């Protein structure tokens, strides 16, 4: 296990380094100098030069990359070109909107998908199964931001159960959770549909296995057999998909935030793009990619912990 | 059970063809000009003269849906082309060099791209080049590359173990020639099915990118931007939000059903298992 862990850890570090280099290089080739953009068309050359020096833009690219990288490792993401505040602080404030939203959606999609997948698999071919599968077909076809708008139309504008947007902050956790409820439902729907399908097909695969027949032969009912032996084995592919979904949820959260005017990472990065605040764009993108790579790494480890054959193979 | 998959294929194919036809017809005819504004006729609900109503500038929603279909389909189609064009050769090469350094480099490169969701790629490209439909194509296209590379490699690996490939090797054919002449034709069915899935995902991604302003720019109509513009008017003109949304849902649903139907029709093992 230790060799496996070391191997995976090395590849994790290499992936993160390469990703950071790609992001830095891509943003660096962007046309337009942030300093000239901030000062406008009529700025004097020496003023621009002074601002460039202040922002650290006059240092060679290579040195800037290492400064950015080492800064990020120690939690210093640099200063925002536009707001002159630490980027780390700006990201931290927004993070507490986007991350809870993604986690709520993840929890919700799991809560919907597990029973729905179980139900469909246990009644394969029945009207109930067809109904669930039809619903998932629809679920994956609905764009989450459109579903979000429909939720606003029904539950905020017509029924007035929720507010149509905005975020009151975490001072009152109940109000905050209420503000994130509609966005989380909108975000969870397509993921729940995908997860239900994976759960159903994983269970159906398991149901054909010899050990399930043995379980039935020793007197367990179909329900008991699924519950005691089927579910645990079906969880392996399901967990992998949940890990993969996390990146879609984070990206999806950025879009959903726009529908509900939530002050999350999405709003931050879109504002930064229009203001050419490239250091903010760079840092938010790196954070998102970091999250995806680390979650996939964790899923790999969980997979190896559950299935010893994987450790032996690599 | 032939009926089941042909029903999916029929329904999915009809829906997809309907929207493809709308897009094609829009090149020669739309009920109204999508770029001319007619404030006197603004925010009309669906009716006889404007079938699906008008927006806040008095533009005909049905005409915009027709031209929007063009944008969506073009972006998603070219993105699938990029994904296949780059991903399939990479997957074939990786499988032909299984375990070698080239395989390792290609697969690790794939893992790296996988860590960048298409929205994140679009954000990066927009930061450099500004928003536009081309950026959406590139972002979704790059996202498609590892999908096709992994699929091709996985399918090709099992083919490399087969006897007819061994026979081709004994004949002295090079790895590249075997990949092109024997492996590729045998993975085509899989690629077609995955192609329809990525096509439908591309339509969803394009809508999402246009919605947040990273996709097609005005005056090019696109379904995602129609939804973004409708957002503030949803309480008094719900048709503006309903119509483009339903267009997206029906197109994606059609493509997914068609993909399911094609998979069942093209994979004889599923057919045998079902009967």
Beta carbons of B127 and A278 less than 8 Å apart: yes
Window 91-150 of B: residues touching A by CB (8 A cutoff) are: 108, 111-112, 114-120, 123-124, 126-128
ipTM of the complex: 0.89
Per-residue tokens: B197: 């899935």
CA distance B258 to B275: 20
Tens digit of pLDDT for each residue in A137-154?
999 999 999 999 999 999
Question: Is A99 in the same domain as A8?
Answer: no
Question: Is A284 in the same domain as A207?
Answer: yes
In this prediction, residues B149-174 reach a mean pLDDT of 92
Q: Which residues contact A206 (CB under 8 A, 6 or more apart)?
A: A212, A229, A230, A233, A234
A11 located within any domain: yes
Domains and CATH numbers, chain B: 3-22+62-274 (1.10.3720.10)
pLDDT of residue A32: 67
Beta carbons of A27 and B208 less than 8 Å apart: no
A187 chain-B contacts, CB cut-off 8 A:
none
Question: Is A50 in the same domain as A178?
Answer: no
Question: Is A63 in the same domain as A101?
Answer: no
pTM of the model as a whole:
0.88
CA distance B258 to B7: 9
A185 located within any domain: yes
Mutate: best of A145, A164, A249, partner B, most B CBs <10 A: A145
A137 chain-B contacts, CB cut-off 8 A:
253, 256-257
Question: Is A259 in the same domain as A178?
Answer: yes
pLDDT of residue B28: 95
pLDDT level of residue A107 (50, 70, 90 thresholds): very high
A83 located within any domain: no
Of the candidates B123, B207, B256, the beta carbon closest to that of A143 is on B207
Of the candidates B211, B227, B253, the beta carbon closest to that of A141 is on B253
A58 located within any domain: yes
A38 located within any domain: yes
Question: Is A61 in the same domain as A101?
Answer: no
Q: Tell me what percent of the residues of chain A surpass a pLDDT of 70.
A: 96
In this prediction, residues B209-217 reach a mean pLDDT of 90
B5 has pLDDT over 80 = no
Tens digit of pLDDT for each residue in B62-94?
999 999 999 999 999 999 999 999 999 999 999
Query: How far is the alpha carbon of B175 from chain A, nearest alpha carbon, in Å?
Result: 26
Q: How many secondary structure helices (H) and strands (E) does chain A include? A: 14, 0
Structural domain count of chain A: 2
Beta carbons of A247 and B108 less than 8 Å apart: no
Of the candidates A27, A137, A285, the beta carbon closest to that of B120 is on A285
pLDDT of residue A29: 72
Which chain B residue's Cα is nearest to A18?
A: B112
B147 has pLDDT over 90 = yes
Query: How far is the alpha carbon of B215 from chain A, nearest alpha carbon, in Å?
Result: 13
Question: Is A97 in the same domain as A151?
Answer: yes
CATH number at residue A249: 1.10.3720.10
Question: Is A64 in the same domain as A122?
Answer: no
CA distance B145 to B94: 13
pLDDT of residue A314: 46
In this prediction, residues B13-28 reach a mean pLDDT of 95
pLDDT of residue A274: 81
B274 has pLDDT over 60 = no
* Exposure on the CB side of residue B80, measured as CA atoms within 13 A: 18
Tens digit of pLDDT for each residue in A37-47?
777 777 788 88
pLDDT of residue B128: 78
Query: How far is the alpha carbon of A30 from chain B, nearest alpha carbon, in Å?
Result: 4
A22 located within any domain: yes
Tens digit of pLDDT for each residue in B108-139?
888 888 888 878 888 888 877 788 888 889 99
Question: Is A296 in the same domain as A150?
Answer: yes
A15 chain-B contacts, CB cut-off 8 A:
108, 111-112, 115
* Exposure on the CB side of residue B61, measured as CA atoms within 13 A: 31
Question: Is A133 in the same domain as A31?
Answer: no
Which chain A residue's Cα is nearest to B206?
A: A143
Q: For chain A, what is the mean pLDDT?
A: 86
Question: Is A155 in the same domain as A267?
Answer: yes
A237 has pLDDT over 90 = no
Picking from A45, A74, A103, the residue at the C-terminal end of a domain is: A74
Q: Taking a C-beta distance cutoff of 8 angstroms, is the pair B43, B101 a contact?
A: no
pLDDT level of residue B39 (50, 70, 90 thresholds): confident
B245 chain-A contacts, CB cut-off 8 A:
142-143, 146, 149-150
Residue B54 β-bridge partners: B60
A84 located within any domain: no
In this prediction, residues B219-225 reach a mean pLDDT of 90
Q: How many residues does chain A have?
A: 314
B270 has pLDDT over 60 = no
pLDDT level of residue A125 (50, 70, 90 thresholds): confident
Domain that holds residue A65: 2-74
Question: Is A283 in the same domain as A230?
Answer: yes
A63 located within any domain: yes
pLDDT of residue A143: 94
Beta-carbon pairs below 8 A across chains A and B:
114
Instruction: Output A305 or B25, whichever has higher pLDDT.
Output: B25
């Amino acid at each position: 296990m230790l060799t496996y862990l070391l191997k995976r850890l090395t590849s994790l570090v290499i992936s993160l380094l390469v990703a950071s280099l790609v992001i830095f290089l891509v943003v660096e080739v962007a046309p337009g100098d942030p300093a000239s953009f901030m000062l406008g068309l009529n700025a004097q050359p020496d003023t621009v030069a002074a601002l460039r020096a202040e922002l650290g833009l006059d240092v060679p690219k290579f040195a800037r990359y290492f400064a950015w990288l080492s800064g990020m490792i120690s939690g210093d993401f640099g200063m925002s070109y536009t707001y002159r505040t630490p980027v780390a602080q700006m990201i931290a404030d927004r993070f507490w909107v986007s991350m809870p939203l993604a986690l709520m959606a993840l929890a919700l999609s799991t809560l919907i998908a597990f029973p729905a997948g179980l139900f469909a698999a246990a009644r394969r071919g029945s009207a109930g199964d067809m109904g669930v599968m039809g619903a998932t077909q629809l679920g994956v076809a609905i764009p989450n931001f459109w579903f979000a708008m429909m939720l606003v139309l029904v539950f905020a504008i017509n029924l007035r159960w929720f507010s149509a947007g905005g975020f009151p902050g975490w001072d009152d956790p109940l109000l905050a959770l209420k503000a994130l409820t509609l966005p989380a439902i909108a975000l969870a729907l397509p993921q729940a549909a995908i997860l239900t399908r994976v759960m159903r097909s994983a269970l159906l695969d398991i149901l054909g296995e010899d050990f399930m027949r043995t379980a039935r032969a020793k007197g367990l009912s179909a329900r008991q057999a699924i519950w005691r032996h089927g579910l645990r084995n079906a969880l392996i592919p399901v967990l992998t998909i949940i890990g993969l979904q996390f990146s879609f949820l984070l990206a999806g959260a950025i879009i959903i935030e726009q529908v509900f005017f939530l002050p999350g990472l999405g709003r931050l990065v879109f504002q930064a793009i229009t203001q050419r605040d490239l250091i903010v764009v760079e840092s938010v993108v790196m954070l998102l990619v970091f999250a995806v790579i680390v979650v996939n790494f964790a899923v790999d480890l969980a997979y190896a912990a559950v299935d010893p054959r994987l450790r032996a193979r690599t | 059970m032939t009926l089941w998959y042909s029903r999916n294929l029929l329904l999915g194919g009809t829906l997809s063809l309907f929207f493809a036809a709308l897009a094609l017809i829009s090149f020669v005819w739309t009920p109204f000009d999508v770029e001319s504004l007619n404030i006197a006729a603004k925010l009309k609900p669906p009716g006889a003269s404007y079938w699906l109503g008008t927006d806040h500038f008095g533009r005909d929603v049905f005409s915009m849906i027709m031209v929007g279909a063009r944008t969506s389909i073009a972006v998603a189609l070219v993105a699938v082309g990029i994904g296949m064009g780059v991903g399939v050769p990479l997957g074939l090469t990786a499988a032909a060099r299984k375990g070698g350094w080239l395989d390792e480099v290609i697969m690790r490169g794939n893992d790296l791209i996988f860590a960048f969701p298409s929205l994140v790629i679009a954000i990066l490209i927009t930061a450099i080049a500004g928003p536009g439909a081309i950026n959406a194509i590139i972002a979704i296209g790059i996202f498609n590359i590892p999908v096709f590379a992994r699929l091709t490699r996985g399918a090709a690996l099992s083919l490399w173990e087969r006897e007819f490939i061994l026979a081709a090797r004994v004949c002295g054919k090079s790895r590249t020639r075997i990949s092109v002449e024997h492996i590729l034709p045998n993975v085509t069915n899989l690629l077609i099915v995955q192609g329809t899935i990525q096509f439908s995902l591309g339509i969803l991604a394009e809508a999402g990118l246009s919605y947040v302003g990273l996709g097609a720019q005005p005056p090019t109509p696109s379904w995602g931007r129609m939804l973004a513009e409708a957002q503030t008017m949803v309480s008094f003109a719900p048709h503006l939000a309903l119509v483009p949304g339903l267009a997206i849902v029906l197109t994606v649903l059609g493509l997914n059903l068609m993909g399911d139907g094609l998979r069942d029709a093209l994979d004889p093992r599923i057919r045998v298992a079902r009967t």
